[in-house]
Amino acid sequence: MTLNEAHEPALAVEDVETLGAMLKVDEGIRARVYLDSLGIETIGVGRNLRDVGLSQDEIDYLLANDIERCVREIRQHRTTRAAWDASDTNRRLVLANMCFNLGISRLLKFRKTLEAWSRKDWARVSVEMLDSKWADQVGNRAKRLSGMVRRGTLGVTYQVARTAQRAEHGGGLGA
């Protein structure tokens, strides 16, 4: 390889687009994980999850999209919107965390919790959160989140994680 070849782009932008179109035809496009012809978990356009996996940038991109989806879904439903509107930032983070974990359809089943939330009855919200099958399933996560709702402050575990993420990414998710 010559010095000039080392500094030239491997493919022009239009060639990358053409290759992308070719691969979509040959590999197909799948939004859900499937087993390829060798039994390897694959997703998207032939992404081999076992051997290639995801880069940190891809993980951050997916997470940012999932967070955006959760917040949008919360704001689209009357009961979760009322809880959202009644909340300060830390309690909104809890609601979004629960939506991320449960999905909006399961979160909507927390009727007593959401009713208390919309009334800003934080003690009742905390009790209702812990008095659920979900709390049994997620254990310490439910305890941390119910404590955040009760106190209205970011828990220590989350403060440490946020600080570490900022140090690692230079400021935030995907930065």
Q: Count the neighbouring beta carbons within 10 Å of the beta carbon of residue 83.
A: 27
Radius of gyration of the chain (CA): 22
Measured in whole angstroms, the distance separating CA 126 from the mean position of its chain's CA atoms is: 23
CA-to-CA separations, 160 to 48, 88, 151, in angstroms, rounded: 33, 20, 18
Alpha helices in 28-88 (DSSP H): 56-76, 78-86
DSSP string, 21-35: HHHHHHH--EEEEEE
Query: Could you report the per-residue pLDDT of 26-36, keeping only the tens digit for each?
Result: 999 999 999 99
Rounded mean pLDDT, 141-157: 94
Amino acid at site 42: T
Query: Could you report the per-residue pLDDT of 55-105, keeping only the tens digit for each?
Result: 999 999 999 999 999 999 999 999 999 999 999 999 999 999 999 999 999
Residue 43 contacts residue 34 (beta carbons within 8 Å): yes
CATH 1.10.530.40 fits 56-169, yes or no: yes
Scan for tokens 């106190």, then name that residue.
151
For the chain, give every domain's residue range.
3-48, 56-169
The pTM of the full predicted model, rounded to 2 decimals, is 0.83
